């Protein structure tokens, strides 16, 4: 696991070589074990290394092919690199690393090498002869890759902070990106919060050269690269067991100590159970235990740890400890987010215990239907009598309901009832929305907002008459979850907060072979009568009954109480930073904060914390507006 950097000047390099050193320094936490640079007349490449496989110096990067023609910087892990290596008999390998396998596969197969890799990755390969640059990102977007592209150059990195360190771009917020952030506590790829800075999409590649326009290509898509599963329930359960077990086994390959995050929920409990079956030694497990008992899942994590005799580390967290950690966590937040601090806490303690790699249950909810939307959307679409009412009749129903209840949920229902249809993309855009549009316009100096990017993206992927329409209905919800909330919140936060502590995080539920299989399972088999029923039925013999029968809590911190008491001044200082950004209404921010303090049902802590995070990020990175 590492961090990569690069500047490719198409017409010839004219920059000071110190620029790539600055980029490397800005992501030092991603790779504390080694660093390196490469440069020629056209390109700078930089690398910081966190050594997990083959920690010897000969595997350090930038990595050159034996003949010196190709130079690569690579971030990630290829779990099936040994089987790929066995097929590359004509390449004279000199290391035991997956890095060299990636380069050798590219030399033999070109861009088609991407279809061979099972793993998480972002990499760039420079051809010193043809003067071409090839960049690619993994299928599910587990590893990040940001870039700035103009007519004469591309600047790319694992980190936005590294791009900012070059001082080659303006530190300006994107107005549309800001609207996206306020709506969804994130900015959806390929866009970011900054003007001109983009994220390479999951499953996407770029080829660049001086002679040709940059060529973008999508090599994998969840709506295309899936296959229909069996109609037999028992066979499907067996396949789910086998594929997840194989996924965990692949992710246990490591030359350093490893462990697992154990929240006490279904997903992480299954991962720990499978790890314990496949590994001879005790597994180190880590969980957060809150002093505020109603937020704590500690008792369930203990049960799983006791059943599998893990070396369990329980991190007790109170407000004082949390307050001390927030400034450090925010400092390493590469892109602002309304989430992620919980991952920072458990990652920090995991690394302090001597563990450099850990497995997580991230992705289980999105793939197997762990969220309420997997029931809510089918239930709403089954209410055919609502379809008989035209929009002008449905609209007053929503307004009346919201006037009576005044909650964020009733505000979302009001918007859904105004939708032209109840197709998934129209419903889903509101499910993950944090601030509703009237709240966004109250914060910003504009009354005209752009179209929801979530609506645009889900319509493109799974909308009616699109290829994604062929997917089973529940799988279309999974695709919506994976390509919006999971990729742009959960995975981004998991990467930036774990790598802030020099910890590699692996996610077995996002093995693309497992994902491709589960997306093809019929709704009748996957139907979530209870949360993640198919997953629970497949693995209930491995986890305590109390774990799979309990009410889902989620892994959250008790912000609501803390922000109104011990963290009140901390929040206010960061909200005031936003008043320096010309897009904001100062009185809008003040009113929003007052509504939260006065227990307004529509302004909960999860509506305010993204603004606190953004305010800190703006100040930390010198953003001027």
Catalytic residue positions? 2
Structure tokens at 122: 């972002």
H/E element, 151 = none
**Ramachandran bin of 438, using left for φ above 0, alpha for ψ from -120 to 50, beta for the remaining angles:** alpha
Give the bridge partners for 148, in sequence order. 155
H/E element, 358 = strand 357-359
> Between helices 298-307 and 266-278, what is the axis angle to 10°?
20
Tell me 145's DSSP state: -
CA distances from 535 to 262, 375, 525, 539 (A): 17, 16, 11, 6
Structure tokens at 172: 């300006």
User: Which of these, 142, 95, 98, 101, lies nearest to 120 by C-alpha position?
Assistant: 142
143 close to 119: Cβ distance less than 8 angstroms = no
CA distances from 153 to 9, 25, 168 (A): 4, 21, 11
CA distances from 160 to 120, 198, 587 (A): 19, 9, 30
Structure tokens at 595: 């509504």
Distance CA 50, CA 60 (A): 10
Tell me 294's DSSP state: G
The angle formed by the CA atoms of residues 199, 205 and 209, to the nearest 5 degrees, is: 100
Phi, psi (degrees; rounded to nearest 5) at 6: -170, 150
Measured between alpha carbons, how far apart are the two ends of the chain, in Å? Answer: 33
CA distances from 263 to 71, 314, 402 (A): 41, 10, 35
Distance CA 53, CA 102 (A): 14
506 close to 256: Cβ distance less than 8 angstroms = no
497 close to 344: Cβ distance less than 8 angstroms = yes
């Amino acid at each position: 696991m590492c961090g990569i950097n690069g500047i490719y000047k198409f017409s010839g390099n004219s920059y000071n070589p110190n620029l790539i050193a600055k980029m490397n320094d800005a992501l030092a936490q991603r790779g504390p074990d080694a660093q390196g640079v490469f440069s020629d007349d056209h390109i700078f490449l930089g690398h910081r290394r966190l050594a997990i496989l083959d920690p010897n110096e000969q595997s350090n990067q930038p990595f050159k092919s034996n003949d010196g023609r190709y130079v690569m910087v690579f971030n990630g892990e290829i779990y099936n690199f040994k089987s790929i290596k066995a097929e590359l008999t004509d390449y004279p390998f000199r290391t035991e690393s997956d890095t060299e396998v990636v380069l050798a596969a590219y030399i033999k197969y070109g861009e088609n090498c991407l279809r061979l890799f099972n793993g998480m990755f972002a990499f760039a390969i420079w051809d010193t002869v043809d003067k071409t640059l090839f960049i690619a990102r993994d299928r599910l977007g587990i590893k990040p890759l940001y870039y700035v592209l103009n007519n004469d150059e591309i600047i790319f990195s694992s980190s936005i902070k590294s791009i900012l360190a070059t001082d080659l771009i303006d530190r300006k917020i994107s107005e549309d990106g800001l609207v996206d952030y306020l709506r969804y506590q994130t900015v959806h790829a390929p866009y970011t919060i900054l003007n001109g800075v983009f994220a390479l999409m999951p499953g996407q590649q770029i080829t660049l050269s001086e002679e040709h326009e940059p060529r973008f290509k999508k090599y994998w898509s969840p709506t295309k690269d899936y296959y229909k599963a069996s109609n037999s329930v028992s066979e499907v359960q067996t396949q789910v067991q086998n594929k997840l077990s194989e996924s965990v086994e692949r992710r246990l390959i490591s030359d350093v100590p490893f462990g697992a995050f154990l929240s006490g929920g279904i997903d992480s409990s299954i991962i720990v159970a499978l790890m314990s079956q496949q590994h001879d030694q005790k597994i180190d497990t880590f969980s957060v235990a809150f002093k505020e008992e109603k937020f704590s899942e500690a008792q369930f994590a203990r049960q799983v740890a006791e059943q599998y005799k893990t070396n369990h580390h329980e991190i007790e967290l109170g407000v004082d400890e949390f307050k001390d950690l927030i400034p450090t966590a925010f400092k390493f937040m590469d892109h602002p987010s309304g989430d992620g601090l919980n991952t920072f806490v458990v990652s920090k303690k995991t690394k302090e215990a001597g563990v450099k790699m850990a497995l997580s249950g991230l992705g289980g909810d999105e793939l197997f239907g762990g969220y309420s939307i997997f029931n809510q959307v089918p239930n709403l679409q089954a209410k055919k009598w609502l379809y008989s009412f035209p929009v002008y009749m449905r609209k007053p129903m929503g307004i009346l309901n919201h006037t009576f209840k005044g909650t964020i949920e009733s505000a979302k229902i009001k918007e859904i009832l105004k939708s032209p249809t109840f197709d998934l993309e129209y419903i889903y855009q509101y499910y993950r929305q944090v601030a509703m549009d009237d709240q966004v316009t109250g914060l910003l100096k504009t009354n005209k907002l752009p179209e929801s990017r979530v609506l645009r993206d889900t319509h493109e992927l799974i909308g009616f008459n699109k290829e994604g329409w062929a997917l089973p209905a529940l799988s279309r919800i999974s695709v919506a979850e994976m390509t919006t909330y999971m990729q742009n919140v959960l995975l981004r936060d998991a990467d930036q907060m774990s790598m802030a502590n020099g910890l590699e995080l692996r996610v077995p539920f996002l093995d693309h072979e497992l994902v491709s299989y589960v997306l093809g399972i019929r709704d009748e088999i996957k139907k979530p009568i209870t949360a993640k029923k198919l997953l629970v039925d497949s693995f209930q013999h491995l986890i305590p009954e109390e774990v799979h029968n309990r009410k889902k809590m989620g892994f959250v911190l008790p912000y609501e109480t803390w922000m109104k008491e011990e963290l009140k001044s901390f929040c206010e200082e960061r909200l005031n930073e936003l008043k320096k950004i010309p897009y904001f209404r100062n009185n809008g921010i003040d009113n929003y904060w007052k509504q939260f303090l006065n227990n307004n049902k529509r302004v909960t802590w999860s509506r305010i914390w993204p603004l606190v995070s953004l305010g800190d990020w703006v100040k930390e990175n010198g953003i001027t507006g």
